[in-house]
Structure 1
Amino acid sequence: MMGQREQRRGTTLLTLFVFITTLWAPYVMAQTPEAAAPAAEAPKKPTQWRVGVLAVPARRSDKKLALPIQALFRNEVTKLLSTQLVVPTGDSDLSELVELRGMVDRGNKLLRGTKFSEAMPLYQEAADRIGMVDLVPDRRLLARLYKGLAICQWIDNNKEAARSNAQRSRHLWPNQSDVEWAFNMETSRLFRDVTVGWETTPNGEITIKTSPSDAEVFVDGVSRGFSPVTVAQASVGPHHVFVVRDGYMAHQSWVVVESEQQANVKVGLKAIPNKSGFDRAVTRLKRASSRAHRALKNLNTLAKAHGGVDVLIAVTVRGKRGALELRGAVYKNGKAEAVRETLQQDAFLISNMRGLVRTWTGVDFGPDLESEPLEGSVARDVAGPDVSGANSGDPTYIMGGKDVFAAEQRAKTDTLFNKWWFWAGAAVLVGGAVTAIVVLAGDTGPTSPTGSVSIDLYTPSVP
């Protein structure tokens, strides 16, 4: 009997030890630094491709068809992942654009840390250099740049310049909300000031004429057609104008619109250095569009006019009984492949062109960002420059974004007591402890005397 009690006691202690180990092991693992595990290498970003598009009329009568088709193809290229649309305007330095994007990103991080004085030089330098980039405007980049510059200037008490740059940002990316400008009470006031000004001031008008004509005109980063162009109901303030025509240097400038006034822009375009060679290559493209190997030399010339490309789509456009006949070649990785497609001029024209762009380039489309906010919301710093002048008892509104307080919330809530396995282990441990106490309590009581009992069942007989 003594051996059985010792065995039960040992089993109970072993079970209790297993319970404690089960509870303690996850806690130890949770406290182990993540750095101890081998860190996975960050995925490399794909290289940004330079993609060019040329659509030339097969006949003179096809000119009115070729220009809009080229514009539509180029617009679809801008929606591809990791690509940059380039146009035949000479040397387009893509590295400059990438560097400017990095400067704006760094400036935005400084703004979120309310380091306005440190962000100012970054935005100012980027604004000075962006005018030298002759690529089709990156609306998001320009809007972020002038937004950051406006905020820094407003904090620096340069109100007029800040208001002008805030209008530029809003024109380039209208879908902005007040929470995106709420770095503090002062910057929120800047957003409201511009918004209220537009709501109470009548619009104006912009007219753009170019020499030569038929140049594609972008106003605030959006294609408005081919010159001459008139933009009605243009809100007051500065608007970005970008003009591009194949074989000519790109032109960009700012035009200020006054209320109920017409702003006139006249642009004299300058030919690229090898304009004659470019024109000959386009002419030969029409003749050799059905044979890619004959067009390869011309494609090399056209690629150089774009400042170098990774993919060049060069086709002729011919109208034919409600359809568009495309013939030409796709220049990719130094090789040319003949293409020939027919597109119906119906409701599916844009989607069919989109499919061709994906097939010819081999690149997928990215998400549609047109309806997205410019940037995430930010928290208001209630200790802004004008808080000292607020009246006692005035309400203060804090409209912080979720991303601002996320780290602090995680720090407060990410404790051991919020882990499900902690309470599960605790329940098992308590149950095991209770069981052990019951078992041990039953074994430690006084023992009964041991021995043998003999019962005599003999009954004497009665005489």
Structure 2
Amino acid sequence: MRLLLGILLAAAGPEAPAPAPPPPLPDPSVLVVVLPGAPDLSGRAAALGPAVTQRVVHLRPGVPVALADVLRPNRAEDQGRAIVEARAQVLEGIAAFENLELDLARETLEEAVEGLVAHLPELDPAGRLALAQGLFAYASSVLFEGQTVAADQLFSALATVEPGFQPEPGRYPSNVVERFEELQGRTAGRATGGLDVYTDPPGAEVYVDGGLRGYAPLTVPDLSEGAHAVTVRHPAFEPAGRLAVVEADENMLVDLALKAVDASALWRALTPQLLGDLAALNQALKPLRVDRVALLVLEEGASDPVARGVWWHRGKAEQIAPTPLPEADESAANVLAQAIVATEAPPLVVAPSPVPDEVADDVPLTARWWFWAALGTVVVAAGVSTAVVATRGGEDGPPRNTAIFGF
């Protein structure tokens, strides 16, 4: 079977070359990173970072960049290779099932399905078909071992992820196909429960059956009874996929420790302690290759959370004033973007007031209030000038220090 996997991978294309150096980022690139000051703020901090980045570039020139692209510039290539490997494992697992090597089939298909679920949001039609085929063969293997409840849970996951899937005619026993079709027909009426999703580190994106639900830690309610495809991803860690079983009227726990990659060290170097140490801040941010970085910490405030941080630009940093954030994430992102941009705003210039009605073109000069004010100023100035000249005196003039006022 391992030989078959090697053949399939070779057929998918030549072995990938060594990763190329990361491409240059657009200039000026802009990134906002929000760190949680407490574990229960991890989800909100993760959600604010991308939203504030987008709003900052609406307020000042710049090109937004995603933290995942900065930390893992070759992640698209890594993802492509992982999907190819998982699709090949599906075929290997199906072959093992057809040979009645049920243990090997179950283990291989479980790994393949989780590998595809880890990338479910980006799967193309061929990838989704491979996932559906893998789920069906996985459920069939479990059913052949007499585990009917587990098989039905897997069939329910398949009916949710790919509602229109039909197994290949003649490939599976008719009783297996009939059981799946019966379950497909009653998915809408199933009882509901939920999932409590935690990740290590916290703040990972959580997808259920391919749709983004939020950021961990997260409770996902109103899920139908049975298995569901859970995808979690963090900018600096390997994505993960699991089939999580939901039971009626219960919240089931999903707790995933994400696998570290090379980029994880760059992420872990971003800590709240950097805000008071410019040398350490430069050391942590320069490897990101981003032109401007706002590094903020979200902390509990007296009533609302408060964000504080720095706006860094190639070795220089400006303090961002502590900013209380409203409850709604969209409003909070706007407030925070304005606070960031305010650190580099020029001095305020008051716009001129509208021209008063009395200075309109059709108003006579003598009807304008400022005409007489200006004329009075000229008269007084002329009188003062006369007085000053007269006090100078001279050989043919009046005695010195004699003031003459003209009217």
| TM-score in same-fold range (> 0.5) | no
Q: Which of 1 and 2 has greater Rg?
A: 1
Could you tell me the TM-score, scaled by structure 2's length? 0.43
